[in-house]
């Protein structure tokens, strides 16, 4: 069963690019377009990982992480996306499972690499993929 990644971003184009990148890597991507919808989905069926925008209607990405962290038994590792130049106070992140803050625009490949690293997903090198055991 593939890893389940919840994407919460009110910019639909960004959410769809991220979802496509994750799906092409064999991960399950669930797209939501505001913080409240993301909260409801994650509360009902907690994902393995969250990628959320900071500024969204309904509930910010930071509020989403805070609520889920206090209400769920297990913290959900999260990457927080934010507009370039928007500063986040480090003390706001101290007790949350936010692994990284990435400024928009970001590299979808770099985002995928961060998700894989956080989940412990290894990618085979070309030499490993074609190696024969004998």
Nearest to 4 by CA among 93, 133, 115: 115
Q: What is the pTM of this model?
A: 0.86
- Give the tens place of pLDDT for each residue, 84-101: 655 666 666 778 899 988
Question: How many whole angstroms from its chain centre is CA 8?
Answer: 8
Strand 98-104, strand 49-53: pairing: unpaired
Residue ranges of domains in the chain = 4-129
CATH code of the domain made up of 4-129: 3.40.50.2300
The pLDDT of residue 17 is 96
């Amino acid at each position: 069963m593939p890893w389940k990644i919840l994407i919460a971003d009110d910019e639909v184009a960004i959410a769809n690019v991220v979802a496509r990148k994750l799906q092409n890597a064999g991960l399950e991507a669930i797209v939501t377009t505001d913080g409240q919808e993301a909260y409801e989905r994650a509360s009902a069926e907690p994902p393995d990982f969250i990628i959320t925008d900071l500024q969204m209607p309904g509930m910010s990405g930071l509020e989403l992480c805070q609520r889920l962290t206090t209400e769920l038994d297990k913290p959900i590792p999260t990457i927080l996306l934010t507009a370039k130049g928007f500063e986040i106070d480090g003390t706001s992140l101290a007790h949350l499972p936010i692994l990284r803050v990435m400024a928009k625009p970001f590299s979808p490949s770099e985002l995928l690499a961060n998700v894989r690293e956080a989940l412990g997903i290894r990618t085979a090198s070309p030499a490993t993929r074609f190696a024969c055991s004998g």
